[in-house]
């Protein structure tokens, strides 16, 4: 079986393992106070063109989201998010477990707009019974979204200006950041994101690392005491260098971008093949995740040879399925899948 | 500088890195549903002689403690612990952040007794205003304790019987489990611990792994839905095999025990050298952590060549210092330190 | 100005004040251990025909909801509720502040059905990634709902059977219980509610008391240690008799039911007048709250003489407005309003 | 039996009941937006000489403490308090339930000092592993303390200056404020307290009201959005005027101070009688609570006629007992008790 189920079915990019092996016996201080973390932070700040920002390394996405959000909100505040946002759906109520409601905005493609945020803020602020409702205290975006869509530079700038106008921070979850930045549809850079967002994270786990996410805090008001929050929520590794080494390697010579770009290329080739066979898609993803809508027969056809992720029923006879690529996806596997897609077209 | 500051200054045991490299390109399901996790669990259950227990892998100690404790307690309950317990002191209020008070029992050497627990329970249950107080809902131990002391089989059995008598679970934090089990003073096995405790964890991070702790749940009532808790608290790795592989390696051919036994041997050699020079100790640790009490001059003497951890002031002119060994400690480093300890004795 | 804004614009029923004055100098134990609380509990249990149930008195609705719900759920669980449910909208995230997500079900009239609950439970239980989602752990209803609609005996029985089938408790918020039970549309008794629900509360604040809600717990498994929860959440009054006296008076000679029935009668007379003038309504409330949909001119017409509550815009030129009656509403006021409703009809 | 068990065994001062009866049928807006609340706030601000402060009315002490403290602290922060502080002992972990640790300072008489706070802050700030510990984020005092002792103006000023030096708010719990301010030992005024504290509350429940506490916020930074917190924690009464009326009455013509002064006078007469008979006391209370240390025989002697509160064992043969007075204590009861104290002296 060839596995396209997710972007975390293999281990880490080999250069990471090499560096881990090479530095294994070096003695370094714990809890992220090591030279590898320092070096990785410097590289991240450089590419973000945000020399005054803070960088912190955390273990995984859910933990990063809950730690960042709980560090920002006061008890009566909630976080605005798309109704398909990861924090709203697939983190077992991690945000609520820290005491905060996720306030959802309707979204057809996973994105939300500055206008939606502004309308929500105004409605709340003008309500005579606003103290009986959760106060929106920040905005959460994912880039790319859970269904692989992107924010344009204009859309992100709008959101940023709206947030600043209402005095609430903008937070961007970049679990799959690399695949968004290297999509042919994208016009954002990490520097743009650093300029628009008060805090965001650059995903490692799904972009070639074993684990680890890099939180970048650009807003001075949000920097204070962040390490306490990491420790309290269980995100501070004793052997912190484990994540430092990985980001150090990934941000050396654009490795992070190069491997993600290749993965996106593979995904778009798969997309094209499906399109050629008249298959339609859930959402419009130009990133490493593709969501073709297949009949039960088509599903069965692929199921004999490929592992994909069931994403939901589209209607009684159709299912949405996710095919994912990553740094580890082999060209041969992609070619074989494409060939089978065309074979499927001929058959059914 | 030679670093004895902690047992997490190097990376992982080389066999772990080898296995990670060897299996890197294998495709496995995420979130711990992979064959390495399965194999590691089977090995752990075998050595615990607890075939019906559940095993789960989490990222780090603080996270494991907060996840386990919050999964057990109801909102009005707290956890009994020694006043020096890790959850009481050095986890940034992680337990309180989940809504629960740590109820401390006085302890001179880091351990608590069944009699202390029984007295606390009786006092609470007999109080006419008990509903105005936090109800003790479970007991937390660390083995070895934060200052390297151990529970004997008799002491642990007492605690276990007391807890069962009062209907509250007993939880044991084994962040440094390997160093306790292989201490010459120890008379407990993992099977004993599995029999006495309702839930406990076997520490990986400080015993040779890069990261990772193995939670063992023996009490059926505590097993239900535990995976939800792991996910909610951010402890579920997408690439879950990262921890599975490590425990699989560590529990192959007793590697876990062998490397810890060697580390304890090194620590006791260092201890003996200090004792020969008339140095006294904080607590009585027969494990991999040694806490000599040094004068400022002695501190300065070692400070030129060795990194140790400042543990606190003993009095105005004396400091408690921690020297730690691990799987990675080299015999040459230990010999050199011992030789310097004797040199110190001659000098000051 | 005549105030129909809510059912809490006056103080308490005069018989309550009389009893408070009469017993003021009696010395009683604190925290609800007084004879008035005992007597009130006995009366409530009798009318509920639930001699083995527990009764507790709390201060207000939001507090009752958060205390009951947080006492029941485990950390990874949420509470199912209609999307217009009070806990979902108008309690400032009180449930989330205790760590739990409110899982909303779509509802057009404020009620939800057993079928909806069953479908949600099945979807969750069958999901392969259910551990990444909040587990539904109980169901919340309000009776009457926030928009004045009712559950029939059949509907409540369905919900009860569904909950029991899936092993989750059913909780009913009866902030305006009296107005529901005495509605001409109602076919439920308190005994029926006690039989169908695992826990519910009988509202005092909005039904003639100064403050206070009576929680009835029929499910043995939910009774244990409930007083700890009340104390922890700040709901335990030192002078607990204040609430005991009120329920003692309200449940003497059916006062609670009689005053609510009269209030509902007033509300339905107002409803009828609006209907006669061709005014339509938001929802279908046969209780003490009426939600006519008025033009801006009609709103202005009433605004000179009556205080009502703005409930929301129906469309650009129409507003939903709430007129409330209570034990304190005077017949003259109702007659005057009705006469003005007809006058409005003639004018505009 | 004559009841000296607490200061909440009777109802409310009769003037309060009179005003409630008199205003019962007036129609006022809910949630504290009524003229009685406004009038009471104005009176409180005047006596505090703090015209720019905010006043809010909450239901009870535990609720007030948890609402105020949770509104101030960030998640990684705790509250410093005396180890006998009410929040540390007798609120069922209400503070921890909001996510925050109570950091206790040792205290022999219930008070803490500016020097203790300063030492704790410096230790924390200088620690190299401070991020592994809860950050002290505010200070909690009770005045009078749980054992009836007082802070002098000098002591409170020291604490205030220390808190401001370290940038943390000072909060004072005045559940029994009236009995402290009217003690002959006291040199503080409400204006002094308003000047020294960032936030404090004036207790109603134990000082003549049915229920209710008045929170005064003098620090502008702590004022924002406080009403959201009250609502979220369940402390916002629909019929908010119930508390407004009570404080309006209590702060008319110094009623609050006059009734508390009388109660303290009664308590000190009882104290004197015990002293004359050679009885010693727990702590040194010059307020309405007296804690004589009695033998078992003496306890039995009083137990036939008086209800007092068992406070704890002093040694094997002696118990600490609490005798409380209040606005409702009758002079005849006090005289009878004094006479019996002397009778006890003659007998045993």
B281-329 tens-digit pLDDT: 999 999 999 999 999 999 999 999 999 999 999 999 999 999 999 999 9
Among chain C residues, CA nearest to D2: C27
Residues from chain D contacting residue B124 (CB–CB below 8 Å):
none
Residues from chain B contacting residue A60 (CB–CB below 8 Å):
59, 234, 236-238
Q: How far apart are CA A111 and CA A155, in angstroms?
A: 9
Name which of A71, A130, A227 is nearest D131 (Cβ-Cβ): A227
Q: How far apart are CA D321 and CA D4, in angstroms?
A: 10
A interface test, pick of B28, B35, B239 with most A CB neighbours within 10 Å: B239
Name which of C98, C131, C236 is nearest B228 (Cβ-Cβ): C131
Q: Taking CB atoms and an 8 Å limit, are B135 and C229 in contact across chains? A: no
A interface test, pick of B175, B211, B234 with most A CB neighbours within 10 Å: B234
Beta strand extents in chain D (DSSP E only): 2-3, 54-58, 77-82, 102-105, 135-142, 170-174, 199-203, 213-217, 289-290, 293-295, 306-307, 309-315, 318-324
Report the SS3 class of residue B179: helix
Helices and strands, number each (H, E), in chain D: 14, 13
Q: Taking CB atoms and an 8 Å limit, are C62 and D234 in contact across chains? A: yes
Cis-peptide, bond into residue C88, ω within 30° of zero: no
pLDDT score for B215:
98
Among chain D residues, CA nearest to A125: D225
Q: Band of the pLDDT at C4, cuts 50, 70, 90?
A: very high
Structure tokens at C56: 């507790």
Report the SS3 class of residue A17: helix
* DSSP-assigned letter for residue C205: G
Q: Taking CB atoms and an 8 Å limit, are B93 and D134 in contact across chains? A: yes
Q: Residue D238 CA to chain centroid, in angstroms?
A: 25
Phi, psi of B85 (to 5 degrees): -55, 145
Residues from chain A contacting residue C76 (CB–CB below 8 Å):
92-93
Instruction: Chain C: give the shortest CA distance to residue D162, in Å.
Output: 30
Residues from chain D contacting residue A225 (CB–CB below 8 Å):
74, 76, 131, 135
Q: Band of the pLDDT at B344, cuts 50, 70, 90?
A: confident
Q: Taking CB atoms and an 8 Å limit, are C133 and A78 in contact across chains? A: no
Q: How far apart are CA B142 and CA B151, in angstroms?
A: 9
ipTM for the complex? 0.96
A interface test, pick of C63, C93, C146, C308 with most A CB neighbours within 10 Å: C93
Query: Mean pLDDT score of chain C, rounded to an integer?
Result: 97
- pLDDT for C90-147, tens place per residue? 999 999 999 999 999 999 899 999 999 999 999 999 999 999 999 999 999 999 999 9
List of residues 6+ apart from A237 with CB closer than 8 A = A31, A32, A57, A59, A243, B59, B60, B205, B211
pLDDT score for D345:
75
Residues from chain B contacting residue C74 (CB–CB below 8 Å):
71, 225
- Judge contact between C136 and C111, C-beta under 8 A: no
Q: How far apart are CA C144 and CA C146, in angstroms?
A: 7
Q: Taking CB atoms and an 8 Å limit, are B93 and D129 in contact across chains? A: no
Q: Taking CB atoms and an 8 Å limit, are A135 and D71 in contact across chains? A: no
- pLDDT for A13-45, tens place per residue? 999 999 999 999 999 999 999 999 999 999 999
Name which of D93, D98, D131 is nearest B78 (Cβ-Cβ): D93
**Mean pLDDT of the A151-178 span:** 98
- Subunits with 3+ Cβ pairs within 8 Å of B are A, C, D
- Judge contact between B151 and B141, C-beta under 8 A: yes
Instruction: Chain A: give the shortest CA distance to residue D168, in Å.
Output: 15
Residue B92 above 80 pLDDT? yes
pLDDT score for C348:
54
Q: Taking CB atoms and an 8 Å limit, are D90 and B131 in contact across chains? A: no
Residues from chain A contacting residue D168 (CB–CB below 8 Å):
none
Residue A49 above 70 pLDDT? yes
Distance between start and end Cα atoms, chain B: 22
pLDDT score for A270:
98
D interface test, pick of C3, C7, C11 with most D CB neighbours within 10 Å: C11
Residues from chain D contacting residue A76 (CB–CB below 8 Å):
225, 228-229, 231-232
pLDDT score for B333:
97
| CB contact burial D265-276 (16+ within 10 A = b; e otherwise) | bbbbbbbebbee
| Polymer length in residues for chain A | 348
Q: Provide the residue-wise pLDDT of chain D in tens; the chain has 348 residues.
A: 999 999 999 999 999 999 999 999 999 999 999 999 999 999 999 999 999 999 999 999 999 999 999 999 999 999 999 999 999 999 999 999 999 999 999 998 999 999 999 999 999 999 999 999 999 999 999 999 999 999 999 999 999 999 999 999 999 999 999 999 999 999 999 999 999 999 999 999 999 999 999 999 999 999 999 999 999 999 999 999 999 999 999 999 999 999 999 999 999 999 999 999 999 999 999 999 999 999 999 999 999 999 999 999 999 999 999 999 999 999 999 999 999 999 987 765
Q: Which helix (H) or strand (E) holds A34?
A: none
- Judge contact between B130 and D93, C-beta under 8 A: no
Q: How far apart are CA B120 and CA B136, in angstroms?
A: 8
- Subunits with 3+ Cβ pairs within 8 Å of A are B, C, D
Among chain A residues, CA nearest to D134: A228
Residue B50 above 80 pLDDT? yes
Q: Taking CB atoms and an 8 Å limit, are D101 and B91 in contact across chains? A: no
Q: Taking CB atoms and an 8 Å limit, are D60 and C234 in contact across chains? A: yes
Distance between start and end Cα atoms, chain C: 22
Q: How far apart are CA C44 and CA C29, in angstroms?
A: 21
Among chain D residues, CA nearest to B75: D97
Q: Taking CB atoms and an 8 Å limit, are D101 and B93 in contact across chains? A: yes
* DSSP-assigned letter for residue D55: E
Residues from chain C contacting residue D29 (CB–CB below 8 Å):
5, 9
Q: How far apart are CA C322 and CA C290, in angstroms?
A: 6
D interface test, pick of B77, B81, B93, B135 with most D CB neighbours within 10 Å: B93
- Judge contact between A300 and A318, C-beta under 8 A: no
Q: How far apart are CA B329 and CA B306, in angstroms?
A: 13
Structure tokens at D130: 């401070």
Residue of A310, A342, A332 whose CA lies nearest to A323: A310
- pLDDT for C30-86, tens place per residue? 999 999 999 999 999 999 999 999 999 999 999 999 999 999 999 999 999 999 999
Q: How far apart are CA B235 and CA B67, in angstroms?
A: 8
Structure tokens at D303: 């137990």
User: Residue B150's CB: how many other CB atoms inside 10 A?
Assistant: 24
List of residues 6+ apart from A116 with CB closer than 8 A = A105
Instruction: Chain C: give the shortest CA distance to residue A122, in Å.
Output: 15
- Judge contact between D58 and D212, C-beta under 8 A: yes
Q: Taking CB atoms and an 8 Å limit, are A17 and B25 in contact across chains? A: no
Using alpha carbons only, how large is chain C's radius of gyration in Å? 21
Name which of C11, C231, C307 is nearest D92 (Cβ-Cβ): C231
CB pairs under 8 A between A and B: 158
Q: Taking CB atoms and an 8 Å limit, are D29 and C5 in contact across chains? A: yes
Cis-peptide, bond into residue B144, ω within 30° of zero: yes
pLDDT score for C106:
98
Q: Taking CB atoms and an 8 Å limit, are C92 and D231 in contact across chains? A: yes
The DSSP-derived string for A270-307 is HHHHHHHTT--BSS---SSEE-BEEEHHHHHHHHTTEE
Residue C347 above 70 pLDDT? no
Q: Tokens 């308190």 — which residue?
A: C190
Structure tokens at D150: 């007082």
Residue of D192, D198, D83, D63 whose CA lies nearest to D138: D198
Alpha helices, DSSP H, located in B140-188 = 153-166, 177-181
Torsional class of A73: left (φ above 0), alpha (ψ -120 to 50), beta (otherwise): beta
Instruction: Chain A: give the shortest CA distance to residue D236, in Å.
Output: 10
Q: Residue C228 CA to chain centroid, in angstroms?
A: 24
Structure tokens at B153: 């089989």
How many CA atoms within 13 Å lie on the side-chain side of B132?
A: 16
Residues from chain D contacting residue C2 (CB–CB below 8 Å):
27
Q: Taking CB atoms and an 8 Å limit, are B133 and D90 in contact across chains? A: yes
Quote the percentage of chain B above a pLDDT of 90: 98
Residues from chain B contacting residue D308 (CB–CB below 8 Å):
none
Instruction: Chain A: give the shortest CA distance to residue D38, in Å.
Output: 18
C interface test, pick of D1, D3, D17, D27 with most C CB neighbours within 10 Å: D27
Residue A312, Cβ density class (10 Å: 0-12 exposed, 13-18 middle, ≥19 buried): exposed
Q: Which helix (H) or strand (E) holds B314?
A: strand B309-315
CA distances from A267 to A21, A167, A183, A248, B26 (A): 31, 39, 10, 26, 20
- pLDDT for A91-119, tens place per residue? 999 999 999 999 999 998 999 999 999 99
The DSSP-derived string for A190-211 is HHHHHHH-SEEEEE-GGGTSSS
Residues from chain A contacting residue C133 (CB–CB below 8 Å):
89-90, 92
């Amino acid at each position: 079986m060839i596995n396209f189920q997710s972007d975390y079915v293999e281990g880490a990019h080999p250069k990471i393992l090499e560096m881990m092996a090479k530095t294994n016996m070096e003695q370094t201080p714990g809890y992220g106070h090591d030279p590898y973390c320092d070096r990785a932070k410097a590289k991240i700040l450089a590419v973000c063109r945000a020399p005054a920002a803070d960088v912190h390394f955390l273990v995984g996405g859910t933990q990063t989201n809950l730690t960042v959000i709980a560090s920002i909100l006061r008890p009566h505040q909630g976080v605005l998010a798309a109704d398909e946002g990861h924090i709203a759906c697939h983190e077992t109520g991690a945000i609520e477990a820290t005491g905060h409601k996720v306030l959802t905005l309707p979204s057809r493609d996973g994105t939300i707009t500055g206008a939606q945020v502004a309308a929500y803020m105004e409605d709340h602020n003008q309500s005579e019974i606003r103290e009986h409702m959760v106060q929106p205290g920040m905005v959460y975006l994912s880039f790319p979204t859970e269904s692989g869509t992107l924010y344009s530079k204009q859309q992100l700038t709008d959101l940023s200006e709206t947030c600043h106008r209402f005095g609430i921070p903008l937070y961007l979850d970049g679990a799959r950041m690399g695949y968004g930045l290297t999509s042919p549809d994208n016009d954002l850079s990490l520097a743009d994101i650093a300029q628009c967002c008060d805090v965001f994270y650059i995903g490692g786990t799904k972009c070639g690392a074993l684990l680890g996410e890099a939180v970048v805090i650009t807003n001075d008001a949000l920097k204070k005491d962040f390490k306490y929050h990491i420790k309290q929520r269980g995100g501070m590794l004793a052997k912190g260098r484990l994540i430092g080494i990985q980001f150090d390697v990934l941000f050396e010579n654009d490795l992070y971008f190069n491997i993600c770009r290749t993965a996106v290329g593979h995904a778009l080739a798969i997309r094209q093949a499906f399109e050629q066979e008249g298959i339609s898609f859930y959402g419009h993803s130009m990133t490493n995740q593709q969501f073709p809508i297949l009949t039960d027969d088509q599903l069965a056809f692929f199921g004999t040879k490929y592992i994909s992720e069931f994403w939901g029923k589209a209607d009684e006879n159709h299912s949405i399925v996710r095919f994912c690529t990553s740094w580890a996806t082999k060209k041969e596997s992609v070619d074989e899948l494409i060939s089978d897609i065309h074979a499927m077209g001929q058959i059914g």
